[in-house]
């Protein structure tokens, strides 16, 4: 397998053939903001937070979708990129109901962390304050549509890792929402295995464990990488 050498933020890094700029940057310890990409899951390019500048290209590229190439010169942190990311985070905050002080994952939310890292101390848009439902029908999990940013991590974890495909997206535009099975209450789902992979990959408080204090809500989608490695090594067979 061939290896490419490229420059990211002035550092020379290497990437295996087919690896994305995001993966190469993360391997080298370079942080690129993201909300939809998770190592081990397919990348939908939904959040656009990972956009980067590539020398010689006249438009921004999503680092999670763009393959690293030999000699590429990438910049991940410019004032224009920062402004664009701030704008995206503000739009996400205005679109849903993200009141951190009463959120079940306050302190462990990736959207919240990103907003803090980007110095988003206010939102320049009128909040929509949508009146969305909360599905508490499942015995162990809850789904709060008010806090969902439609990154689809949960859908992909359920489909690509668990193989259940209980979750999906229904509707379009402002009516788009996560559904279970054929838009039934989660607790009535016959396909859900109750594995909780969706909850662990959710970057916000949209999916949460019921009856747990905020301190136990810390999520870590790194378990997906471990599952994939274990399956590849046939550790569980």
Which of 135/159 has CB closer to ligand FES? 159
Which of 46/209 has CB closer to ligand FES? 46
- Residues numbered 182 to 211 that lie near ligand FES (CB under 6 A) are none
Q: Does 148 bind ligand FES (CB under 6 A)?
A: no
CA dist., res. 172 & res. 184, Å (int): 18
Choose the binding region for ligand FES from 4-12, 46-54, 68-76, 97-105 (rule: CB under 6 A): 46-54
CA dist., res. 141 & res. 180, Å (int): 12
Among 13, 62, 104, 157, binds ligand FES (CB under 6 A): 62
Q: Does 50 bind ligand FES (CB under 6 A)?
A: yes
What is the 3-state secondary structure of the chain? CCEEEEEECCEEEEEECCCEHHHHHHHCCCCCCCCCCCCCCCCCCCCCCCEEEECCCCCCEECCCCECCCCCEEECCCHHHHHHHHHHHHHHHHHCCCCHHHCCCCCCCHHHHHHHHCCCCCCCCCCCCCCCCEECCCCCEEEEHHHCCCCCHHHHHHHHHHCCCCEEEECCHHHCEEEECCCECHHHCCCCCCCCHHHHHCCCCCEEECCCCHHHCCCCCCHHHHHHHHHHCCCCC
Among 23, 24, 64, 202, binds ligand FES (CB under 6 A): 64
Calculate ∠ Cα 184-187-109, nearest 5°.
95
Q: Does 37 bind ligand FES (CB under 6 A)?
A: yes
Residue 64 CB, shortest distance to ligand FES, in Å, is: 3
Which of 37/224 has CB closer to ligand FES? 37
Choose the binding region for ligand FES from 29-37, 53-61, 78-86, 93-101 (rule: CB under 6 A): 29-37
Q: Does 68 bind ligand FES (CB under 6 A)?
A: no
Among 49, 149, 179, 206, binds ligand FES (CB under 6 A): 49
Choose the binding region for ligand FES from 45-53, 95-103, 199-207, 225-233 (rule: CB under 6 A): 45-53
Q: Does 35 bind ligand FES (CB under 6 A)?
A: yes
Contact residues toward ligand FES (CB under 6 A) are 34-37, 45-50, 62, 64
């Amino acid at each position: 397998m061939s290896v490419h050498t490229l420059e990211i933020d002035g550092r020379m890094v290497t990437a295996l053939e087919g690896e994305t700029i995001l993966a190469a940057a993360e391997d080298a310890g370079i942080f690129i903001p993201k909300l939809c990409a998770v190592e081990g899951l397919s990348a939908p390019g939904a959040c656009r937070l990972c956009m980067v500048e590539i020398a010689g290209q006249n438009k921004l590229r999503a680092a999670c979708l763009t393959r690293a190439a030999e000699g590429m010169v990438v910049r991940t942190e410019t004032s224009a990129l920062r402004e664009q990311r701030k704008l995206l985070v503000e739009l996400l905050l205005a679109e849903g109901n993200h009141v951190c002080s009463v959120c079940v994952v306050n302190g462990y939310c990736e959207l919240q962390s990103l907003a803090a890292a980007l110095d988003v101390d206010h939102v320049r848009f009128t909040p929509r304050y949508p009146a969305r439902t909360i599905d508490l029908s499942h015995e162990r999990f809850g789904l709060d549509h008010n806090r969902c940013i439609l990154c689809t991590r949960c859908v992909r974890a359920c489909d690509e890792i668990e193989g259940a495909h209980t979750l999906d997206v229904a509707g379009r535009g402002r009516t788009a929402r996560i559904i279970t099975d054929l838009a039934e209450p989660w607790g009535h789902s016959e396909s859900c295995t109750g594995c909780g992979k969706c909850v662990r990959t959710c970057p916000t408080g949209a999916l949460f464990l019921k009856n747990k204090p905020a301190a136990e809500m810390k999520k870590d989608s790194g378990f997906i990488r471990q599952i994939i490695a274990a399956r590849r090594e046939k550790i569980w067979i």
